[in-house]
Amino acid sequence: MNQLICKRFVVSGKVQGVFFRASTRQQALQLSIRGHAKNLPNGSVEVLALGIHTAVEALEQWLWQGPPTARVTEVQIVEMVTHTGHDGFEIL
């Protein structure tokens, strides 16, 4: 499946202050995924990923681990039908 998909993930656990957003950006760029990663007020991280199906699925699997200092307890997934106009992958 090489169609473009866009998913929003909310990653919970010890994911702020552990380079989670920067590491996510690095993974996303390696997978040619556009979107963003941003801290949320409740301590979780939102990741918006737009790319081919297999690449977004690979990023989803990576989000369950994150960088070595992170401790992911949950990844909520919301599949989206429309995508944003991101040109690259931003840390917000």
Active-site residue among 2, 8, 21, 25? Answer: 21
Annotate 42-51 with b (16+ C-beta within 10 A) or e (fewer).
Answer: eebbbbbbbb
Q: Does residue 25 carry a catalytic annotation?
A: no
User: CB of 34 within 8 A of CB of 89?
Assistant: yes
Q: Does residue 21 carry a catalytic annotation?
A: yes
Q: How many CB atoms lie within 10 A of CB 58?
A: 18
> Which amino acid does the sequence have at 17?
G
Active-site residue among 25, 34, 39, 71? Answer: 39
Q: Which residues are catalytic?
A: 21, 39
